Structure 1
Amino acid sequence: MGRHLKPILVLFSNSVATILYITAGTTILGILMSNTEVGIYSVPVKIYTIIKNIINAVIMVTVPRVSFYIGQQHIKESKLLLDKTLNIIVVLVFPAMIGLAFLAEPIITIISGAEFSSGAVSLRLLCVALLFGNLACFFANAVLLPFKREKFFLQATCIAAICNVALNFMLIPLCGIKGPAIATIVSEFIVMVYSAFKAREVYIPSTFLKNLGQTSIGCVTICLICYVTRMLITKPFFDILISVTLSLIAYGLTMILMRNEIIRSLVRMIISVVRDK
């Protein structure tokens, strides 16, 4: 019983620390500012949390399989799966981050109304936190936990929680609703760097840079499409619809032309499903 109790307590403490640094911004904003600022900031936070959790779901699905490989001493297979998972995250999070940054204002306008549009600045800042947060989740949950290094994950989240609270009290009086977003960026960055640093002893990505280069080129097409669409279309709904549709097509084609294995595997899977029907 005692053998299992310690890891459970570590994971529980880690969950508490994670919740603390995620929700501290809104709480402290309510203490130092008015309910208006809290309402405006809560909209980008909800959008950020939804997208982050969707991408994190990809990571959490792989954790049992990685743990199985490690338990069977199939270390090579576990690292190949980790490489593939990391590449999937990069392929997903970068276009999501770029697209969300460009479409922040129309998205908030459609969801909550034009009176909340000032929250677009915070959402753009949280797009940076989205990258750090998903990579932090990968190194913490998909690497540290299966390799039984959960104590380092706990250390990372505790440091991030303390820094988040301190930064919120410092930045909110100076920056308003941008303060919690900046504090979130710093917190997610701390967890990412600390987790990746501790994970390097058991896992070092082998195909990350190649995939990152291809994804960066693909994201250039998203930037161009969103910029031009924003210049030509003023209606928020059609701006989002056209930008997202054209960006997905252009990004997918660009990645296929560069022979990105993740996108090509996805296309093959879709074709296989269609043929089966």
Structure 2
Amino acid sequence: MKVLKNYMYNMSYQILLLIVPLVTMPYISRVLGPKGLGTYAYTNSVVSYFLLLGSLGITLYGSRQIAYVQDNREKRSKLFFEITILKLLTTLFSGILLASYLFMCSEFRVLLIAQSLTLFANVFDVSWYFMGVEDFKKNVIRNVIVKLASLILIFSFVRTNRDLLLYIIIIGGSTLIGNIVLIPFLINQVEFFNIKNLNVIQHLKPAILLFLPQVATQIYLVVNKTMLGQMDSVSAVGFFSSSDTLVRLALTIVSSLSAVLMPRIANLIAEGKTKRVEYYMNQSFEFINVLALPLMMGLAAISSTFVPLFLGAKFSVVALLVIMESPVILIISWSIAITNQYLIPSRMNREYIISTVLGALSNVSLNVILISNFGVYGAIIATFVSELIVMVYLVYSIRKYLNVTAMLFSNFYKYAVGSFIMFGVTRTLSHILPATIVSVILEIFVGIATYFITLFLLKADILQNWRNFFHE
């Protein structure tokens, strides 16, 4: 039942993450326009490099280490303070570097200073601790309150394209406050230690080993926006960012289970229960397939109608970008599952580093070639190819430990057939019905019904499998 409870908490937050942008994106895209939205995405991508350095892989490293000793209060308390002090030092170092960069940089300086609020907020982030002890409730409640508050503030105060600075402050400020309000919940969770009894430096090397692949991951997550801003225009960044946001919103629905299972599998690995690890991995991949395939096909099916209605006529080019990028929903979901649920808990740092470096190098190389020739379309192609390269390597890297190919393609054809039939029905409706919000909602519901009816006819036994899995 703990898996179900944590999944429901995490899933409820992921749904909120889905709803909030669905509410704010149409408004923000119209208020800020392609240039304003692109400027936000560009400045955010610059500061994100410093935020990554300040975090030093501690979210993953910290939650994993806490998971190993989650049942020992003394050990987890000592770990918490050691890792927290390390994070404070790395954030301070990153802040000094950011200040130096801002001193030399004249373009967008004020906006970059406002974006740096997120780096300051990083000092107070203790969400990794609660992930490690499999307590997702506190994180979710905190995040829900913060998201709703930021939503109210955005609609209340961001009115014109001159309010971009205020928009950035609201986003960064809400993150800061959200991190601070979680700290009091630690009082009954940890014991205070004399700083002389702490060994902070021991965590530096293993944290760096997880930090390096996150650097590479961050490069191919945000380098598209940075390179588009430099090689094309901030409007192109706005188009790419809008497509990428829509695709990754769908991705969060699928990937939410990985965050729940990572500490569970880490604990099982520490106890040597390999059969249980295989069971969780197998069920996780089936869960991914049954959701990722229809989300991928469904988003592509409704994009031509949905995007102009959702983002406005100025963003009509995004419809094709969404269709081109939608396959990464499945590809990235597989990669996240392998990385977060197996490589990191198993301390397979070498394989983790190689996969992310491959992704970063291929993404940057392809961007240089494709953006200069095809602009924003080239950035989408580079994203797809680099994510595919990462996924193929990850599957190859764990082939000796798990029969991952069999896991990935268990009942795959049933979900693929259902998704293709759903795509055909939904796409046909989008051509027949008028381009209205009501039509889009109808297309979504008809598509969902078509998909699950097809699975029922194909006798896909997903319901029984999930019932057993989530009651663990």
TM, length-normalised to structure 2: 0.54
> What are the equivalent positions in structure 2 for 1:39-58 lying under 5 Å apart?
39-58=238-257
Q: 2:448 aligns with which of 236, 243, 248?
A: 248
- By how many angstroms is 1:245 displaced? 0.2
Instruction: Find the residue that maps to 1:210 and give its secondary structure.
Output: coil
> What whole-Å deviation, never above 9, does each CA across 1:72-96 have from its counterpart, x for those lacking one?
1111111011000000001110000
TM, length-normalised to structure 1: 0.90
Asked if 1 retains the 8 angstrom alpha-carbon contact of 2:308 and 2:319, the reply is no
Task: Report what 2:409 is aligned to.
Answer: 209
In structure 1, distance between residues paired with 2:420 and 2:219: 35
Alpha carbons of structure 1 residues 31 and 207: separation in structure 2 relative to 1, 3 Å: closer
| Structure 1: gaps (5+ residues) | 273-277
> What whole-Å deviation, never above 9, does each CA across 1:82-125 have from its counterpart, x for those lacking one?
00000000111000000111112223223210221111221111
> What whole-Å deviation, never above 9, does each CA across 1:32-84 have from its counterpart, x for those lacking one?
11222222222101112222233211122111221222221111111011000
Amino acid at match of 1:202: Y
When the two chains are superposed, the root-mean-square deviation of aligned CA atoms in Å is: 2.2
In structure 2, distance between residues paired with 1:93 and 1:33: 32
Alpha carbons of structure 1 residues 267 and 243: separation in structure 2 relative to 1, 3 Å: farther
In structure 1, distance between residues paired with 2:466 and 2:450: 15
Task: Report what 1:275 is aligned to.
Answer: none
Q: 2:431 aligns with which of 231, 247, 250?
A: 231
Q: 2:319 aligns with which of 112, 120, 123?
A: 120
Determine if the alignment matches structure 1 residue 158 to structure 2 residue 357.
yes
Amino acid at match of 1:173: S
Q: 1:64 aligns with which of 244, 263, 266?
A: 263
Instruction: Find the residue that maps to 1:103 and give its secondary structure.
Output: helix
> Please, which moves more after superposition, 2-11 or 175-184?
2-11
In structure 2, distance between residues paired with 1:208 and 1:9: 31
In structure 2, distance between residues paired with 1:109 and 1:119: 8
In structure 2, distance between residues paired with 1:236 and 1:43: 20
Larger Rg: 2
In structure 1, distance between residues paired with 2:463 and 2:314: 39
Asked if 2 retains the 8 angstrom alpha-carbon contact of 1:41 and 1:119, the reply is yes
> What are the equivalent positions in structure 2 for 1:14-25 lying under 5 Å apart?
14-25=213-224
Determine if the alignment matches structure 1 residue 38 to structure 2 residue 232.
no
Q: 2:459 aligns with which of 256, 259, 262?
A: 259
Shift >6 Å, 4+ stretches:
none
Asked if 2 retains the 8 angstrom alpha-carbon contact of 1:161 and 1:187, the reply is yes
- By how many angstroms is 1:183 displaced? 0.7
Task: Report what 2:421 is aligned to.
Answer: 221
Q: 2:384 aligns with which of 173, 182, 185?
A: 185
In structure 1, distance between residues paired with 2:401 and 2:454: 33
Amino acid at match of 1:234: P
